Amino acid sequence: MNSISRGWLVVILFAGVALLLLMARGYGGSGDIRGSVESETTNPGIPYAGTATTSGGSAGAPDERPADPGPTRNGRQPVGSIYSTGEQVLPIEGNTKDLGTYVGDRATARAVPVQSVDADEGFWVGSEGDRVWVQLVGPPPESPYQVRAGDSVSFTGTVVKHDAGFAARVGVSRADGSRSLTSQGAHIEVRKSTLTLAP
């Protein structure tokens, strides 16, 4: 074999190896893109859950757990309900779990009725005998609008554990349901800026 033939053989081998490498790299790239598209389309628009908080704490930076809005109807959560980890939190009646079960988890509410407003930055949602306390948190100023009994509000917050002194600290008296709040042992913290008045 002369030197010219050897030279062409080396060029052909080199081109073949390069072509194989390019094909292998291209195959992997298309697989990666396909995977990312599927992951985005299977969970569209689901926000990330906040970090767990301690007693009296507030929601921190987002972690990597997707928030589960719970059962949906036509892609939307049922009106007048609160869900956490895919389970219904409110109405409480008939549930086998109490609010404390969901401490550290994200809770979402859609057009849930405000039962009463018993503190500057806190209120009950639900009905008189079946309700959950919502505590607004975050830097001043106060919430974007004045919440009133009878309003319907939507929000996303975090279920937070509280101690026996929480009711007194936020200004809930016995007549306003301090015993109920203490016995529940948990409430939902919502950032003021994210609370919305439902139509």
Task: Give the pLDDT confidence of 109-149 residue by residue, as tens digits.
Answer: 999 999 999 998 999 999 988 999 999 998 876 666 789 99
Comparison of pLDDT for 72 and 167, the residue scoring more = 167
pLDDT at 164 over 70: yes
pLDDT score for 171: 94
Q: What is residue 44's DSSP assignment?
A: T
What percentage of the chain has pLDDT greater than the value 70? 65
- Establish how many alpha carbons lie within 13 A of residue 77's alpha carbon, considering only the half-sphere containing its beta carbon: 25
pLDDT digits (tens, 9 = 90+) for 91-118: 776 666 788 999 999 999 999 999 999 9
Comparison of pLDDT for 97 and 65, the residue scoring more = 97
Of 18-22, 98-102, 188-192, minimum mean pLDDT range: 18-22
**pTM for this structure?**
0.61
What's the CA gap between 190 and 109, in Å, rounded? 11
74: left (phi over 0), alpha (psi -120 to 50) or beta: left
Please, is 154 exposed, middle or buried when counting C-beta atoms within 10 Å of its C-beta (0-12, 13-18, 19+)?
middle
- Domain assignments of the chain as residue spans, ordered by start: 1-42, 48-197
Instruction: Give 93's contacts (C-beta < 8 A, 6+ positions apart).
Output: 129, 130
Q: Residue 116 corresponds to which amino acid?
A: S
